[in-house]
Amino acid sequence: MIARGVMLGPDQPVILHMLDIPPAAESLNGVKMELVDAAFPLLKGVVATTDVVEACTGVNIAVMVGGFPRKEGMERKDVMSKNVSIYKSQASALEKHAAANCK
């Protein structure tokens, strides 16, 4: 939807920066290839990485949609604790490396 112009408008070119954990790097690269193959006219580039600094460098808009999944036997507070550490490192990287006006 972002690459089709639904999120930012039909005339806004985008470069997607996608971040995932190292064990998912191969799948992430597959998503990148599918995006490129789809030839969305607004998609001007794709950065697919497991490096939080690379993913956050120069971004103008950050949409954080991931997190640690709750597993059997985990209490809610355990999941929250893991997700806080994930989002804290990403927020720190955004603060240091994203565009000054990042939303």
Are 22 and 51 spatial neighbours (Cβ–Cβ below 8 Å)?
Answer: no
**Euclidean distance between CA atoms 79 and 11, whole angstroms:** 39
Can you give the pTM of this predicted structure? 0.86
Can you give the pLDDT of all 103 residues of the chain as single tens digits?
999 999 999 999 999 999 999 999 999 999 999 999 999 999 999 999 999 999 999 999 999 887 888 888 888 888 888 888 888 999 999 999 999 999 9
What are the backbone angles phi and psi of residue 33, rounded to the nearest 5°?
-65, -40
Domain annotation for the chain: domains and CATH numbers:
2-97 (3.40.50.720)
**Euclidean distance between CA atoms 18 and 70, whole angstroms:** 22
Work out the number of other CB atoms within 10 angstroms of the CB of residue 8: 15
